Structure 1
């Protein structure tokens, strides 16, 4: 088995096929992208776009899709890096054009499912050849035949946290691969698939769509807009975890009377569940992640699975954690596109301490940021795999430097 329990159910073994990460199984490129994307998302240890217009993941779709195509066609080196850069840069422009309307009011489409497969299809097309028509058709097929993914499972009021979140990412990676291969075989997609009357923006942009972002110079899209998540939880929980880990050094868990977590209104609403029925619920619960960090003094993969979810010390501490929506945090998020948080800890001594950050790596120097990344990579794997993972994480930035785009 690879990173998920569905490998054998969804993959047909192909002796000369593409790799399924974490397994000896090899399969066709579309299924490899499906399984690898699902496994990458299941860890909830991925990257997030930090942009005032939008957020969402990209690498968990783009890298499984493009690497599967590259492995199938034997593409390595500069051309592979170029394809990755194209996909990540396109993801930024698409996210900015879309805005956040697809997740407001009664709409509940997954940002990653709407944006990343379209960007991955463009990058995957550029990987295989330089034919503009085939690239346009591959991207058009991807945008027009999306498996959009709903947010129905990620609702504290419903409480049905389920694996559809992980599968939606896997299906997005598979969809990108299939769209590219169909275009390579001669299939065509519609014209004006992004900005047409019933195109991608008209269908999913709601009241926040701005098509001008699609014509912006892609060379201005620097890939350091993608932030790495240091802890294996939802990005909206990352800053609160860091704050909890730091503040417990001043007030140990046994001395805490209460913890007030102030976040933006959206996070306060969507990350408030206290019913920790499975690992996904834990990763999307501010009460759980803060309690776990205070009690355990860490935020590790094993804290979000199995018996750890029923730890009586953590569950009891959750009653001391209070979540508040903050207009100040709304304003800070609108300026930066990140997920700021503030924690106030009240101790048995009567002392109160408070700390706030705009993001999980705020106020850290380069060494501090590198330390977070190094700790994360070691948590994911060790030995020979570590160097490979480091290369994958930095590949898009290497591509920027290769083409004289980045710093």
Structure 2
């Protein structure tokens, strides 16, 4: 690699700051070993892995996925496309497993990062690990690096208005995790992370609202690009220049490199994430939780007695106010859909979309008014809340407020038992859940992870 002094003299101060922080973070990543990770962080990694694998299996079972897999004409390889019966190359697996993972809006997320660090990097790391048959401790360390680096880049990136978080800052986590798994040194990891931070997608949030599935593909691109960035670094061709200052900053918003190294090795962001029990955008979850509480208070008249529903929430969530949707993806980004589904079904499950276009359902959704309330904006990012008011025909007004959604690290965080129960309910197949639990629990100690991961090839 060329002389660092020559490199930094040729770039502007913002780039130098971005590069210096990336190097410090990469040195931390290079030094991390699974054996020295605190026990509670190890347990959390297993839990996030359990959720990730289970939700990927769930997404793989969607009826449209068979056609997508066929369209890719995946070649024969050693890496499982989870739940499909196909083994293929790491690139195809990284892309398609990532898109399956995010297709039902049930993947783990992190409100401080502003997105989904596990989905941004786990599919790439797991695909590479299966391809090279990495050992368990190395794979677990790489997964943790992917999460922590990605989450820190998410914290450091303040997105421009209307930018969707899929496919931009998360490239860095995928690159760091893959570089770690390839046993690259700190300078090479820096090169991989820097290269990845120059690959972001400027995806408009409107894609999700409109039900455009390209929004899911951004996550596939993220994982494959991270793998490509790591390979570029391994080849000695990555020339770090602090490009995040111009890409994640300036072009896509603002970037604060000092955030990358805040409380490094003291704060583990993986422990601050949230799990989802609703098949909908995380912005809708406090509303869903409050609505489910109100449902039990409706009395004999039930849903039919409702004359009006008012949802107050933070501004970003209030943008999800559409009362019409053309597919499941668009519905999952509609608060009126989520409220109507919760009232009708007592849950917001993946199959709730199937009957959502009936006249009765639409009439209920049309009664939902969504407004922004600065009170909830002021509590961000520590609390992502909402209040729901239901007006009944007899004049009563029922109100419920949720400061944070259930499953958040700040409110009824999921443990192993609750996550297994949720996956069992969603997948409806105890044998499959047992396989997923076995992989998530056994992987960090496995002498080689390929055979273990291959047990998830079939539905």
- The 5 Å alignment of 1:120-135 reads 120-135=174-189
Native 8 Å contact 2:286 2:385 kept in 1: yes
TM-score between both structures, scaled by the size of structure 1: 0.85
Q: Which residue of 1 aligns with 2:296?
A: 249
Question: 1:341: Cα distance to partner?
Answer: 0.6
Native 8 Å contact 1:276 1:282 kept in 2: yes
- The 5 Å alignment of 1:294-313 reads 294-304=343-353, 307-313=354-360
Question: 1:133: Cα distance to partner?
Answer: 3.0
Q: 2:152 aligns with which of 86, 93, 96?
A: 93
- The 5 Å alignment of 1:237-276 reads 237-251=284-298, 252-269=302-319, 271-276=320-325
Q: Which residue of 1 aligns with 2:53?
A: none
Q: For 2:99 and 2:339, locate their aligned partners in 1 and report how far apart those are by CA, in whole Å.
A: 26
Asked whether 1:191 is paired with 2:241, we answer yes
Asked whether 1:343 is paired with 2:394, we answer no
TM-score between both structures, scaled by the size of structure 2: 0.76
Question: 1:343: Cα distance to partner?
Answer: 0.7
- The 5 Å alignment of 1:168-183 reads 168-183=218-233
Q: For 1:279 and 1:357, locate their aligned partners in 2 and report how far apart those are by CA, in whole Å.
A: 25
Q: For 1:189 and 1:17, locate their aligned partners in 2 and report how far apart those are by CA, in whole Å.
A: 31
Q: Which residue of 2 aligns with 1:10?
A: 72
Q: Which residue of 1 aligns with 2:423?
A: 377
Q: For 2:259 and 2:355, locate their aligned partners in 1 and report how far apart those are by CA, in whole Å.
A: 44
Query: Equivalent residue of 1:219, what SS?
Result: coil
Q: Which has the higher contact order (CA 8 A, sep 6+)?
A: 2
Asked whether 1:218 is paired with 2:238, we answer no
Query: Equivalent residue of 2:337, what SS?
Result: helix
Question: 1:61: Cα distance to partner?
Answer: 2.3
- Give the 3 Å change call, closer, same or farther, for CA 392–62 of structure 1 in structure 2: farther
- The 5 Å alignment of 1:77-156 reads 77-99=136-158, 102-104=159-161, 108-155=162-209
Native 8 Å contact 1:153 1:161 kept in 2: yes
Cα displacement string for residues 355-374 of structure 1 (whole angstroms, at most 9, x for unaligned residues): 111222278556x7667534
Query: Equivalent residue of 1:228, what SS?
Result: coil
Q: For 1:259 and 1:370, locate their aligned partners in 2 and report how far apart those are by CA, in whole Å.
A: 35
Query: Equivalent residue of 2:169, what SS?
Result: helix
Query: Equivalent residue of 2:401, what SS?
Result: strand
Cα displacement string for residues 125-167 of structure 1 (whole angstroms, at most 9, x for unaligned residues): 1112142233222222211133343324235xxxx32101111
Native 8 Å contact 1:117 1:173 kept in 2: yes
Q: For 1:118 and 1:50, locate their aligned partners in 2 and report how far apart those are by CA, in whole Å.
A: 18
Question: 1:375: Cα distance to partner?
Answer: 4.1
Query: Equivalent residue of 1:111, what SS?
Result: coil
Runs (4+) off by over 4 Å: 362-366, 368-372, 390-398
Cα displacement string for residues 69-102 of structure 1 (whole angstroms, at most 9, x for unaligned residues): 1001111321111111111111221112112xx2
Native 8 Å contact 1:230 1:373 kept in 2: no
Q: Which residue of 1 aligns with 2:43?
A: none
- Give the 3 Å change call, closer, same or farther, for CA 374–75 of structure 1 in structure 2: same
- Give the 3 Å change call, closer, same or farther, for CA 262–369 of structure 1 in structure 2: farther
Q: 1:203 aligns with which of 231, 239, 251?
A: 251
Question: 1:2: Cα distance to partner?
Answer: 4.4
Q: For 2:375 and 2:328, locate their aligned partners in 1 and report how far apart those are by CA, in whole Å.
A: 30
Native 8 Å contact 1:125 1:138 kept in 2: yes
- Give the 3 Å change call, closer, same or farther, for CA 365–231 of structure 1 in structure 2: closer
CA RMSD of aligned residues (A): 2.6
Q: Point out where structure 2 has 5 or more consecutive residues left out of the alignment.
A: 1-58, 446-459
Query: Equivalent residue of 2:265, what SS?
Result: helix
Query: Equivalent residue of 1:299, what SS?
Result: coil
Question: 1:205: Cα distance to partner?
Answer: 3.2
Q: Which residue of 2 aligns with 1:328?
A: 375
Q: Point out where structure 1 has 5 or more consecutive residues left out of the alignment.
A: 399-407
